[in-house]
Amino acid sequence: MARPRKYNVNIPGLSCYLDARTNKVYWRYKHPATGKFHGLGDNEEEAKAIAIDANMQLNQRKMANLLRVRNEISREVNKGITTNAWVDKYRAIQLERVKAGEIKPDTAKLREPSLRALISHCGIKPLSEVGARDIAGILDIYIEKGQGRMAQMVRSNLSDVFKEAQHAGEVPAGYNPAKATKQPRAKVSRQRLSFDEWKAIYSAALTLPVHIPRAMLLALITGQRIGDISKLKFTDIWDDKLHIVQQKTGAKVAIPLSLKCEALGLSLQDVIAECRDSVLSQWILHHHRSRRNCTRGGQITKSTLSKGFAEARDKSGLLWEGENPPTFHEQRSLSERLFREQGINTQVLLGHKNSQMTEKYNDDRGKDWKEVVV
């Protein structure tokens, strides 16, 4: 029996028919490759959804096959591998580098947006034909949005993509269109933090859960990043030193408990002694109450510390110029400036490999007055 004509079916492969025995309309899908029918029941909406999904999957497979064929054809005519195919290989190379300990998992993860942008603009293009104009076009998208720092990161990531392609012999030696582009400018918009502003924020933080002001004290006295502060354990203390293996770089820093911040009038030993309270925990910063997403004595996450600092900053009543007030991380710069005044080797304290990076943290970005000594 022919399907009822009142049903307007415009989805490829989907059709319906009336069963005279039950007087019901049933739906079915014809596979375009095999020609076989697959029953989909009597629910019209479900049948259409299944048919649409099946067609999408088939189209994706067709596209993958077309890309693979194009890649093979390109190789045959000496145009080399396509950009899409090389990015797949590059991802595999990154996984191997992560396993070998050459790069951090977060580093590989942060490169994904750059890879997706490259595929979006040059996916089916032979890798050897991707030029500086193509890369500049990708960077312009971020520059126009005012995301100069992101544009810098994309340029750096794509430069690594072509460097690996050179090593694999997919492009000629020295061929790197990302490096040929102009380095995007990134205006630093996040404000520095002065010690007076820090004290105002700290006073406001005293009204919040106790781990927020404690985290601020640790940040100022150790000069470490928020992730490293979040993961501090009491077992990291031995030989009268706090031992830290930095997550970002793997640098190992041993800070004497006797280290004292003269501006605060407190030593690292004083702050850690305050963190030793009635709660049994392995973490120096820990929760004092069990809640839905945390347990008593459990670790304080980076997100919790960041949000807590922002809340204290907003409660302080301080006004900030521009749209980017200082974040938790700015305490690292303030710590560097305070300890440099005390004559401490801040490059070692912050775990930097070179002094140039330490100098960036020492830059107060015009925050304080420079006094002329007579």
Catalytic residue among 192, 313, 332, 337: 332
Tell me which of 3.40.190.10, 1.10.150.130, 2.40.160.60, 1.20.200.10 is the CATH number of domain 81-180.
1.10.150.130
Q: Round to whole Å and give the CA distance between 359 and 147.
A: 24
For the chain, residues classed under CATH 3.30.160.60 are 1-78
Q: Indicate if 332 belongs to the active site.
A: yes
- Residues 153 and 143: beta-carbon distance below 8 Å: no
In CATH, what is the architecture of 195-362? Answer: Orthogonal Bundle (1.10)
pLDDT at 7: 64
For the chain, residues classed under CATH 1.10.443.10 are 195-362
Q: Which amino acid is at 1?
A: M
Q: What is the distance of C-alpha 261 from the center of its chain?
A: 32
Q: Indicate if 352 belongs to the active site.
A: yes
Q: If you classify domain 1-78 with CATH, what class do you get?
A: alpha beta
Mean pLDDT of 132-155: 90
pTM of the model: 0.64
With 90 as the cut, is the pLDDT of residue 149 above it? Answer: no
Q: Indicate if 225 belongs to the active site.
A: yes
Mean pLDDT of 272-290: 92
DSSP E strands: which ranges in 217-331?
237-238, 241-245, 252-256, 260-261, 266-267
Catalytic residue among 248, 289, 307, 360: 248
Higher pLDDT, 163 or 34: 163
pLDDT at 166: 93
What is the DSSP annotation of 1-38? -PPPTT----STTEEEEEETTTTEEEEEEE-TTT--EE
> Using one digit for the tens of pLDDT, what is the confidence trace for 99-110?
988 888 888 898
Q: Indicate if 329 belongs to the active site.
A: yes
pLDDT at 76: 46
Q: Indicate if 248 belongs to the active site.
A: yes
Catalytic residue among 225, 287, 313, 337: 225
Higher pLDDT, 323 or 9: 9
Q: Indicate if 5 belongs to the active site.
A: no
pLDDT at 180: 92
CA distances from 161 to 94, 170, 177, 351 (A): 10, 11, 10, 28
The mean predicted confidence, pLDDT, of the chain is 86
pLDDT at 74: 52
Catalytic residue among 70, 190, 243, 329: 329
With 90 as the cut, is the pLDDT of residue 73 above it? Answer: no
CA distances from 371 to 58, 64, 191, 368 (A): 71, 65, 21, 9
Residue 188's pLDDT band, with cuts at 50, 70 and 90, is low
With 80 as the cut, is the pLDDT of residue 69 above it? Answer: no
